[in-house]
Amino acid sequence: MEARATTDRWLYWTVAALSLLGLIVAGYLTYIKWFPAAPFCTGVGDCEAVNTSIYSEVAGIPVALLGALAYAAILIALLLEPRLPLAGEWGALFGFGVALAGVLYSAYLTYIEIAVIRKICPYCVTSAVVITLIWVLAGVRVYRKWLTES
Amino acid sequence: MKRKQAERQQRRQQAMRAQRRRQIVWIIAGVALLAVVVAGILISQAPKPVGEFVTVEPTTWPMADGKAMGLADAPVLIEEFADFQCPYCKQFHDNIQGRIVADYVETGKARFEFHHFIVIDGNVGGNESRRAAEASECANEQGRFWDYFSLLYANQGAEGGGSYADNRLKAFAGSLGLDQAQFDRCLDSNKYAQAVRDDEAKARGYRLRGTPSLIVNGKAVANPMDYNQVQAAIEAALAAVP
C-alpha cells in the first residue's frame, strides 16, 4: 500500500510539474505572439516564422493561448484533486482527456511545421513533447485509479 | 447453507465489479472520443479564414496590356520569368522592375512581359506558387494583372507558409474590387492551369534554372538583380536594332 501511495504521489507531482512547464512554454509563445519584438525567440530555430504563420491562430485565437489554457486546466484540476471531492474523483480522467486532445492537436501542428511551413519552432516541439508525456502519465493515473481498483 | 450463501454473495460481488469495470471503460472511451472530437474541431478550423494582409492602391500601369506593359512593336522585348513565392523575385519587383519601366517601357523603347516559372513549390512542397500564378491569370481575365501582381508581392510570406492559400488569393481579389464570384469560379476551376504550364514550357525552352530570370530580345541577363547589367543588356539590344 505504501509503495502504491508513493507511486501515486510521484505521478501526481510529475504531471503537475510538466503542466507547469507546458504552461510556461505556451505562455511564452502567447506572449511573443502578442508582442512580436520579444527577443528570446530569435536564434533558436525559427519559432517566429511558425508563430506568425496563418496556422498560428484558430478563429482569431492564438493556438499558443489554447495550449496555455489546456495546461492551466490540467494544473488546476490537479491542485483541486486533494481539496474537492469532485476533482478527486474525476480529475485524473479530465487531465487525460484534455491531454489527449492536446496530443492530437499538437501532432497536427507539428505536421504543419514539418510539411507545410517547413520550419521548426523549438518551443512548439517542447510543448508537443510535454503534452505527450502528460497524456501518458495521466493515462497511467487513470489506469491505476479506475482499473486496478479492487 | 451458509457456504452457498457466501458463494452467491461472492458471485454477485464479482458480477458487480465486472459491471463497474465495463462502465469505467465506457466512460474512458467517451472521454477519449470527446477529446478526439475537440481536436478535430480545432483542426477543421485551421488555418484561420483569411488572416490579415496588406492592401495596395490600384495604380496606372504604363501601356498595360494583359501580362505585358509597353508598345506591342517596341524594338526590345524584355521577358521576366518569376515565381510569386520567390524572395528574389519580390526584390526584383521592388528594386529593378520600376526602373526598367520608367527608363525603357514608358519611353517606348521596350515592352515588358511577365511569365510564370514555378520553382518554389518544388523546393518546399505545396502548390502556393502555382495557385498564385493561376490567381494572377484570373485577375488578368478582369484586366487587373499588374495590380494583383503587386498585391501578391506585397503579401509574400514564408515559402509554403499559407500566404497564398486559396482563400487569401480570393480575398486579395476582393480587396482590388474585382468581380469576386467570377474570380472565385475562375480559381476554383483551375481554368488557367494550362496557361501557367505553357509559361513554364517557355522557361524550359530558354533553359532557365531559377527565378527571377530576365530575357532581353532572346538573351538571358546573367544577374537580373544588378540594374547595370540589365541596362547594359537593353542598351545592347537597342544598339543592335537596325
pLDDT digits (tens, 9 = 90+) for B69-106: 999 999 999 999 999 999 999 999 999 999 999 999 99
3-state secondary structure of B65: strand
How many domains, in total, are found in chain A? 1
CB B50 within 8 A of CB B167: yes
CB B127 within 8 A of CB B121: yes
Mean pLDDT value across residues B159-168: 89
Between CA A102 and CA A114 the distance in angstroms is 18
CB B81 within 8 A of CB B199: yes
pTM, 2 dp: 0.54
Task: Retrieve residue A38's grid coordinates.
Answer: 520579444
Q: Using a CB–CB cutoff of 8 Å, tell me whether A4 touches chain B.
A: no
Name the residue in chain A with its Cα closest to that of B159.
A117
Contacts of B158 in chain A (CB under 8 A): 49, 53, 117, 119
CB-nearest partner of B125 from A58, A100, A115: A115
Task: State the pLDDT confidence band at B199, using cuts at 50, 70 and 90.
Answer: very high
Q: Which helix (H) or strand (E) holds A58?
A: strand A57-58
CATH value at residue A106: 1.20.1440.130
Q: Using a CB–CB cutoff of 8 Å, tell me whether A49 touches chain B.
A: yes
Task: State the pLDDT confidence band at B200, using cuts at 50, 70 and 90.
Answer: very high
Task: Retrieve residue A24's grid coordinates.
Answer: 510556461
Contacts of A48 in chain B (CB under 8 A): none
CB B92 within 8 A of CB B129: no
CB A26 within 8 A of CB A67: yes
* Phi, psi (deg, nearest 5) at residue B106: -65, -25
* Complex ipTM: 0.82
pLDDT of A150 reads 45
Could you read off the pLDDT of B97-119 as tens digits, one per residue? 999 999 999 999 999 999 999 99
pLDDT of A10 reads 93
Q: Where are the alpha helices (DSSP H) in chain B?
A: 2-45, 87-91, 98-100, 120-124, 128-141, 145-154, 166-175, 180-188, 193-205, 227-240
Between CA B31 and CA B44 the distance in angstroms is 20
B127-141, B174-188, B194-208: least confident range: B174-188
CB contact under 8 A, B159 and A118: yes
Q: Which are the contacts of B165, defined by CB distance < 8 A and separation ≥ 6?
A: A54, B47, B128, B131
Could you read off the pLDDT of B21-45 as tens digits, one per residue? 888 889 999 999 999 999 998 888 7
Q: Indicate the DSSP class of residue B190.
A: T
Name the residue in chain B with its Cα closest to that of A60.
B48
Contacts of A138 in chain B (CB under 8 A): none
CB contact under 8 A, B48 and A59: yes
Between CA B194 and CA B187 the distance in angstroms is 13
Could you read off the pLDDT of B166-198 as tens digits, one per residue? 889 988 998 898 988 899 899 999 999 999 999
**Packing angle, helices B128-141 and B193-205, rounded to 10:** 110
The pLDDT mean for chain B works out to 91
CB-nearest partner of A105 from B39, B160, B163: B39
pLDDT of A2 reads 76
Closest CA to B164 of B47, B72, B63, B65: B47
Q: In tens digits, what is the pLDDT along chain A, a chain of 150 residues? A: 678 888 999 999 999 999 999 999 999 989 888 876 555 655 566 777 777 776 787 877 889 999 999 999 999 999 999 999 988 888 999 999 999 999 999 999 998 888 767 778 888 999 999 999 999 999 999 999 877 764
Residue ranges making up the domain that contains A60: 2-147
> pLDDT above 70 covers what percent of chain B?
97
Between CA A6 and CA A11 the distance in angstroms is 9
CB-nearest partner of B160 from A104, A117, A142: A117
Q: How does DSSP assign A81-149, residue by residue? A: TTT-HHHHHHHHHHHHHHHHHHHHHHHHHHHIIIIII----HHHHHHHHHHHHHHHHHHHHHIIIIIS-
The distance of A113 to chain B (nearest Cα, Å) reads 9
pLDDT of A16 reads 96
3-state secondary structure of B69: strand
Q: Using a CB–CB cutoff of 8 Å, tell me whether B42 touches chain A.
A: yes
CB contact under 8 A, A147 and B24: yes
The distance of A75 to chain B (nearest Cα, Å) reads 17
Q: Which are the contacts of A139, defined by CB distance < 8 A and separation ≥ 6?
A: A96
Q: How many CA atoms lie within 13 A of B237 on its CB side?
A: 22
Closest CA to A104 of B45, B29, B43: B43
Between CA B17 and CA B1 the distance in angstroms is 24
